[in-house]
Homo-oligomer: A and B are copies of this chain.
Amino acid sequence: MLTPRKLPAQARSAATVEALRCAAVQVLTGEGLDRCTTTRIAERAGTSVGSLYQYYPNRDALLSEVLERRLDATACAVEGACLAHRGGSAVEMARALAAAFLSMKLSEPEKSKALYTVAQELGAVAMIDRLRTRVIAAVEIMLVSASDARFDDPAGVATVAFGAMAGTVRILLEGQSPAQLETRLENELALLLTAYFRAQQAKC
Contacts and interface: CB of A to CB of B under 8 A. Distances in A.
Interface of A: 32-34, 116-117, 120, 122, 125, 128-129, 132-133, 156, 159-160, 162-172, 174-176, 184, 188-189, 191-192, 194-196, 198-200, 203
B166 A162 contact: no
How many identical subunits does the complex contain?
4
Contacts of A33: 120, 122
A169 B160 CA distance: 9
Given A160-B168, A168-B159, A34 B194 contact: no
A128 B171 CA distance: 10
A192 B160 CA distance: 9
A167 B103 CA distance: 18
A122 B115 CA distance: 13
A163 B171 contact: yes
A194 B195 CA distance: 9
Contacts of A172: 159, 163
